[in-house]
Amino acid sequence: MRLIHSIAELRESLAGERESAFVPTMGNLHAGHVGLARIAARHGRPVVASIFVNPLQFGAGEDFARYPRTLHADCEKLAAVGTDIVFAPDLDEMYAEPQTFTVRPPLADELCGAHRPGHFEGVATVVLKLFNMVQPRYAVFGKKDYQQLFILKGMVRQFNLPIVMLEAETERAADGLALSSRNGYLSAAERAEAPRLYRLLRAAAERVGAGARDFAGIEAEATQALARHGWAVDYVAVRSRASLLPPRPDEHELVILAAARLGATRLIDNIEC
Ligand code: PAF
């Protein structure tokens, strides 16, 4: 496996490759990321993973500075599942000049975007830059970041990028907690509490699946249950899978998404129903 830090070297090593499969990450990899690299390896070669903690997608007071940087361990995990190239640019390489051209996606102010102003602009902008650097045939993203995936699929479609977007189911711990690099921030007591988010989403999804249409009531109940157990809830929302907007009365392909904080740690999760 080659570890590459410069865009020029990346381009040189990918010259002529038309079937590469790409996994963008911010590092601190867990089994979910490794699963994305495995999917990539089943679809294309060479497999390229990027590791870059993107300041553009973090707001003031968020965890950019303390986001864990674990390049060596990440490379070992990626090598073990057949990744050919790890691209890990530094800040100056990625943003050689201030990024004044940015991508402002639709839905940028919805759901997580309402609580993290500028976040999806930062995500879409860095992913577009990475796509231009790697020029992959396939790109793999996890469904845990449901809104991110939705927005990036829209970007690929609307900008006619010749990339096949592959999506991976959320990997979970045995108690249901969605794997996330941010789980490492949780204290032992918070980690014991954290699976409640998924339990409540599952219960809500079962009700919706059984035909309940009182979405506001379902959202409020889950929000109150989380708040009673010490969570600060950003949102629990039943949305259309097709639009990520509140569902029309005749829509049945739905997803319930939630974001909430336990102490200083913000967790997100979702379930399709
Ligand atoms: O999902 C992530 O890890 C990041 O948002 C991404 C897609 C690598 C962009 O920085």
pLDDT tens, 118-162? Answer: 999 999 999 999 999 999 999 999 999 999 999 999 999 999 999
Q: Give the residue-averaged pLDDT of 71-100.
A: 98
Q: Give the residue-averaged pLDDT of 199-226.
A: 97
Q: Give the residue-averaged pLDDT of 175-187.
A: 97
- The residue from 33, 43, 115, 252 that is catalytic is 33
Give 164-199 as a DSSP string. EEEEEPPPB-TTSPBP-GGGGG--HHHHHHTTHHHH
The count of domains in the chain is 2
Nearest CA to ligand 1 atom 6: 25
| Rounded percentage of the chain residues whose pLDDT exceeds 90 | 99
Q: How much is the pLDDT for 249?
A: 84
Q: Is residue 109 part of a domain?
A: yes
Tokens standing for residue 73:
């361990």
Q: How many Å lie between the centroid of ligand 1 and the Cα of residue 104?
A: 16
What is the C-alpha separation between 250 and 145, in angstroms, rounded?
26
Task: Tell whether 187 and 158 lie within a shared domain.
Answer: no
Q: Give the residue-averaged pLDDT of 172-191.
A: 97
Task: Tell whether 153 and 200 lie within a shared domain.
Answer: no
pTM of the shown model: 0.97
Asked whether the beta carbons of 111 and 68 are under 8 A apart, the reply is: no
Task: Tell whether 153 and 37 lie within a shared domain.
Answer: yes
The CATH number covering residue 87 comes to 3.40.50.620
User: Is 33 designated active site?
Assistant: yes
User: Which protein residues touch ligand 1 with a CB less than 6 Å away?
Assistant: 24-26, 54, 57, 123, 126-127, 145, 148
Asked whether the beta carbons of 107 and 120 are under 8 A apart, the reply is: yes
Strand-pairing partners, residue 87, are 4, 50
Task: Tell whether 221 and 151 lie within a shared domain.
Answer: no
Q: Is residue 176 part of a domain?
A: no
The CATH number covering residue 255 comes to 3.30.1300.10
How do residues 4-17 score in pLDDT, each as one tens digit?
999 999 999 999 99
Q: How much is the pLDDT for 42?
A: 98
Task: Tell whether 69 and 118 lie within a shared domain.
Answer: yes
Task: Tell whether 37 and 85 lie within a shared domain.
Answer: yes
Task: Tell whether 118 and 142 lie within a shared domain.
Answer: yes
Answer whether residue 220 shows pLDDT above 90: yes
Tokens standing for residue 164:
């096949």
Answer whether residue 35 shows pLDDT above 90: yes
Q: How many Å lie between the centroid of ligand 1 and the Cα of residue 30?
A: 14
**Closest approach atom of ligand 1 to CA 123:** 9
Q: Give the residue-averaged pLDDT of 241-247.
A: 97
Q: How many Å lie between the centroid of ligand 1 and the Cα of residue 246?
A: 25
**Mean pLDDT estimate for the chain:** 97
